A and B are shown apart, each in its own frame.
Chain A
Amino acid sequence: MHWIAPIRHRLRALLHRARAEAELDEELRFHLEMEIEKYLAAGLAPAEARRRALVAFGGVERAKEACRDERGTRLVEDIARDLRYAARGLRSSPIFTLAVTSTLGLGIGASVALFSVVDALLLRPLPYAEPNRLVEVWAADPRDGGSRYVAGEVVRAWREEGGPFERIFAHVRRTVVYTGGAEPVTLAVQIVEPEFEETLGVRPFLGRGLDAGDAAPGC
């Protein structure tokens, strides 16, 4: 699991970048001072000692850069710096930023809204059992070729005497007025046969479903 240590080190280096920089600076400065002292002890003048030490070090900034590379966080640090630079640029030209943001916002918003509708209506499978076997049946009117409701007797005949469908139920859309609450409310409802539960493979979340008794004439 030798890959954990580098990751942990990199995370810590990212979070404490300022302190890491200060420590790096101090570490290299200490080394330089010790090197200068060595030359001073050998009898050189301070200016000469410092010059020799810097030469021996081989470039302080280059060493620092190499250490920063070894830190392993260069990619993230560079990206962060580029983002900050971009943010500064945007702040300095607010009209442009506003135009770009609005365009992007409108474009993205419209696309998302459109896709949500398409997704819900067309792309998703129907939330019923075996949705690829569900069909809606209409009758073709021989007079003008239009679509008509299939007669209720036909549906019942198909169900009881055998027809091309494994399960079938009839339904029709109605608008009713519900008077059970404080005020009368107009509701759009579907009148269905009780078989709709087993055909679609669903059960109601609340209340009871329909059973055969509800299909008796006159209820």
Chain B
Amino acid sequence: MADTTTDVLQGTLDLLILKTLTLAPMHGWGISQRIQQVSRGVLEVNQGSLYPALHRLERNGWIEAEWGTTENNRRAKYYRLTAAGRRALGEELAGWRRFVGAVELVLASS
């Protein structure tokens, strides 16, 4: 449990989801837990924004969904990166790095 909850911007959320899915297909719960763990509790994804984001990414054809069973034999919707999604991830990553670099420049100058 973290003491700060950071709301994640929509474009950034897409980036985080796509990156998380490069490891393995995952369901929504797994994605949110993974992001929380890897960010050491700093990023708690608001589930109210996670699922709309997942559906939007699916609509764009960047991820595709398939129903499967978890280890506890429960039915869950697993998401997987598509080839188009991989390409999009590369572009979003480049855009993010550019963005962060620009912000740093402005902050460093003042």
A and B interact: yes
Residue A34 interfacial (CB < 8 Å): yes
How many residue pairs bridge A and B at CB < 8 Å? 70
CB–CB A26/B75 < 8 A:
yes
Pick from A30, A56, A66, A67: contact of B76, CB under 8 Å: A30
Interface size on A, residues (CB 8 A): 27
Interface size on B, residues (CB 8 A): 23
> What are the interface flags for A1-40 relative to B under an 8 Å C-beta threshold, 1 for contact and 0 otherwise?
0101110011000000000000100111011011100000
**Distance of B35 from chain A, by nearest CB (Å):** 14
Overall SS of chain A's interface: helix
**Distance of B74 from chain A, by nearest CB (Å):** 6
With a cutoff of 8 Å between Cβ atoms, the chain B residues found around residue A35 in the complex are 29, 47
Q: Specify the chain A residue showing the minimal Cβ separation from B58.
A: A9
Cα(A119)–Cα(B49), bound, Å? 59
Interface centre among A6, A35, A69, A70 (most CB of B within 10 A): A70
Residue A194 interfacial (CB < 8 Å): no
**Distance of B100 from chain A, by nearest CB (Å):** 26
CB–CB B58/A27 < 8 A:
no
CB–CB B48/A2 < 8 A:
no
Residue A63 interfacial (CB < 8 Å): yes
CB pairs A–B below 8 angstroms (30 shown)? A2-B60, A2-B61, A5-B60, A5-B84, A6-B60, A9-B61, A23-B77, A26-B75, A27-B76, A28-B51, A30-B29, A30-B75, A30-B76, A31-B28, A31-B29, A34-B29, A35-B47, A56-B47, A58-B46, A58-B48, A62-B48, A63-B47, A66-B48, A66-B49, A67-B55, A69-B52, A70-B55, A70-B56, A71-B55, A72-B59
- A interface residues with partner B (beta carbon < 8 Å): 2, 4-6, 9-10, 23, 26-28, 30-31, 33-35, 56-59, 62-63, 66-67, 69-72
A6-B61, A9-B59 known, 14 other contacts, Cβ within 8 Å: A2-B60, A5-B59, A5-B84, A6-B59, A6-B60, A10-B59, A27-B77, A30-B74, A31-B29, A56-B47, A66-B48, A69-B52, A70-B55, A71-B59
